[in-house]
Amino acid sequence: MGQLHILFLPMMAHGHMIPTLDMAKLFTSKGLKTTIISTPAFADPIEKAQNSGFINIGLKIIKFPPKQSDLPDHIMSLDQATSNDLLPKFFKALSLLQEPVDKLIQEIYPNCLISDMFLPWTVNSAAKFGIPRLVFHGISYLSLCSIEQMRRFKPFNNVSSDSEQFVLPDLPHELKFVRTQVAKYLLEENKMTDFMERVRDADLRSYGVVVNSFYEMEHDYADYYKNVLGRKAWNIGPLLLCNNRGDKVERGKKSSIDAHECLTWLDSKKPNSVVYMCFGSMVNFTQSQLHEIANGLEISSHDFIWVVRKSENEEFLPKGFLERTKGRGLIIRGWAPQVSILDHAAIGAFVTHCGWNSILEGVCAGVPMVTWPLFAEQFFNEKLVTEVLRIGVSVGNKMWQRVANEGVDREAVAKAVEIVMVGELASEMRNRVKCYKEMARKAVEEGGSSYNDLSALIEDLSAYSPSRNNVVQDI
């Protein structure tokens, strides 16, 4: 067999596209040929990667949303589908991509398709052309295991109130939740319930799963996922460490602030003295909750960098807030150079929504965290950070919600920040997370756990005997 060719089909969302591009760079660095199928809205980072030397990463553009979809033309990524009526339309639009994707597979004829979990129909596309489909969830092993146990056992049905705790059964740790922390599609049947069942069915029919994690951090759950749940999986992360040539400043989108200006501001601060607060590209807060966050940061008296949406005006800020925090606070509107900021010695804590990319970036920077999960699998990631790894504390939110209202008051914000920034517990967390930082670095180096898993995966794909007898010639 000649050079292996891997075709990537990511989800139209920044949090999914970033690790997919990192994965393509990783496979390319091992001598494989890669191609990413993208939409015009997400082509720019891939083209930048090509221009910076990754010429073996190919790019194929397809239109999204497709002409025949009910999705408005301006909704081009998942973070724009914020309302309950847009979400099902978004996933329906994704399913309409099967025909153009099949045509590209027939044209490219790759050896393997790595597809995002939210594109379950790709398992049929891969089967049609006799190639293996690997699925990429973009989440932790702990979350993969927890979601499956929540779906199987429905332990939330055994409690009499929303505030009564229940334990997720049969997991390596005793993880406790309340009903309000559980996704709606698990609690009650709806359109997303059916869709997630299709996702699960596609996973089971796929060749295996690639996981953006490393064994030393999640060994209990990596073993559980493979040996107890019986899933074929390879841990190949942290993907952000696998590419030393990557541009940390413009990872994802163009930064909304001059990176040099931001890092110069941090240079003026003492080590471990600044709180960095960012909630990713999909989280929305009400004005009243933003007001509480601002008050909490002010009460804490620590220096801070706070990333807010570009669309936010200054009405959510308490009167005189900017004047009172001048010199000790920096507000960034839009996309921040997060990896560069977290890597700076001045950062002492990371207040995060617990998206998996952010958790890994915090771990790889050796920064303890204040956890503020809101939806998706974020409440599971919080348990990994606060209870399994013990490298952070929770701000106390227990409400699964797409738009965060005033569920957390200023005192809770200030208290959580204080615990992570100052004192013996903060020192213990900082020491632990620095150990995981070192483990992460070793995992991706030659002979490391993720390095070896990737080598094993490439061997498996090289030895794969494609059943291309049933390939459809005309699509």
Tens of pLDDT, residue by residue over 18-46, are: 999 999 999 999 999 999 999 999 999 99
Phi, psi of 61 (to 5 degrees): -100, 130
Catalytic residue chosen out of the listed positions 116, 203, 303, 453: 116
Ranking 1-5, 54-58, 146-150, 468-472 by mean pLDDT, the lowest is 468-472
Tens of pLDDT, residue by residue over 114-164, are: 999 999 999 999 999 999 999 999 999 999 999 999 999 999 999 999 999
Structural domains present in the chain: 5-173+182-245+442-466 (3.40.50.2000), 259-438 (3.40.50.2000)
Tens of pLDDT, residue by residue over 249-279, are: 455 555 557 788 899 999 999 999 999 999 9
In percent, the amount of the chain with pLDDT more than 90 equals 80
Tens of pLDDT, residue by residue over 72-93, are: 999 999 988 877 788 888 999 9
Q: Taking the CB of residue 219, how many other CB atoms lie within 10 A of it?
A: 14
Omega before residue 65 within 30° of 0, cis: yes
Give the pLDDT of residue 242: 78
- Say how far apart CA 355 and CA 140 lie, in whole Å: 10
The label of the residue with tokens 């993969």 reads 144
- Say how far apart CA 106 and CA 112 lie, in whole Å: 12
The label of the residue with tokens 């400043």 reads 249
Give the pLDDT of residue 177: 98
Secondary structure letter of residue 9 according to DSSP: E
The DSSP bridge pattern shows strands 166-167 and 176-177 to be antiparallel
Q: Which strand (E) or helix (H) includes residue 396?
A: none
The label of the residue with tokens 């339309």 reads 89
Tens of pLDDT, residue by residue over 358-406, are: 999 999 999 999 999 999 999 999 999 999 999 999 999 999 987 777 6
**At residue 175, what is the residue type?**
L
Q: What is the DSSP string of 81-115?
A: --STTHHHHHHHHHHTTHHHHHHHHHHH--SEEEE
Q: What is the overall mean pLDDT for the chain?
A: 92
Of 387, 381, 334, 335, nearest in space to 362 by CA: 381
Give the pLDDT of residue 472: 46
In percent, the amount of the chain with pLDDT more than 70 equals 94
| pTM, entire model | 0.94
Give the pLDDT of residue 473: 43
Of 224, 202, 198, nearest in space to 213 by CA: 224
Residue 453 is among the residues annotated as catalytic for this protein: no
Catalytic residue chosen out of the listed positions 5, 14, 16, 137: 16
Ranking 46-50, 103-107, 234-238 by mean pLDDT, the lowest is 46-50
Two structure tokens written together for 408: 């957390």
Residue 5 is among the residues annotated as catalytic for this protein: no
The label of the residue with tokens 């997400």 reads 42
